[in-house]
Amino acid sequence: MLNELLFKFATWLDGFQSSTNLHEALYAYGWVEGTHVLTLTLFLGMLLAIDLRLLGVAFKELPASTLIERLDRPMMIGFVVMLISGALLFYAIPVRSTQSIWFRVKVVFIIAAGVNALLIRNMTRASDMSWDNDPVPPKRIRVGAALSLGLWILVVASGRNMAYDWWDCHKEMPYFMYWAAGCVNEMAAFE
């Protein structure tokens, strides 16, 4: 049922002229995609610095809170640009994106990374940052930071794989894959 809903939504978006224009224009899509990839260096670059500190592997002379608080703004600026450019990329090719198993996996990982970030934030607040000046933070924080890096690596890899058509709907796949990718027409025609 969710697959049907998502497919309807994507098809509705696909109907807009601006969606087609964005996809087919000579440069527009390229600029948006280029912005999306390059802004990664700002967004995930700042996150990398924070996570390396939380892992106790770099910037050990600085209090962890300094990096977390002071790098938050550039990181969030990067994140907003990623969201906007990502939304535009989705809007340009809504049906294929919705039915891309890699896009779905990417969204799941992004949500997981967000939840992980919230958990880390709660942990730091609960602990009153008593470990702030310790070169190596407590184990729970380090696990959270490692998870953060791991999840974002998976986000980047999934995003990269979206370009490949290994599991596109037009390919012959097991029913489970059609369901996972939301290939509603192929699911209906399976028998």
Residues in contact with another protein by CB under 8 A are 26-27, 30, 33-34, 37-38, 40-42, 44-46, 48-49, 52, 58-59, 61-62, 66-67, 70-71, 73-74, 153, 156-157, 160-161, 164, 166
Contacts within 8 Å (CB) and 24+ apart, 33-36: 33/85, 33/89, 35/81, 35/85, 36/82, 36/85, 36/86, 36/89
Closer to another protein by CB, 95 or 154: give it. 154
Closer to another protein by CB, 6 or 59: give it. 59
Question: Checking phi first, is residue 19 left (phi over 0); if not, alpha (psi -120 to 50) or beta?
Answer: alpha
Asked if 159 contacts 106 with a C-beta cutoff of 8 angstroms, the reply is yes
- Least separation in angstroms between CB 41 and another protein: 4
- Least separation in angstroms between CB 43 and another protein: 9
Question: Residues in the chain, how many?
Answer: 191
- Least separation in angstroms between CB 163 and another protein: 8
Closer to another protein by CB, 61 or 128: give it. 61
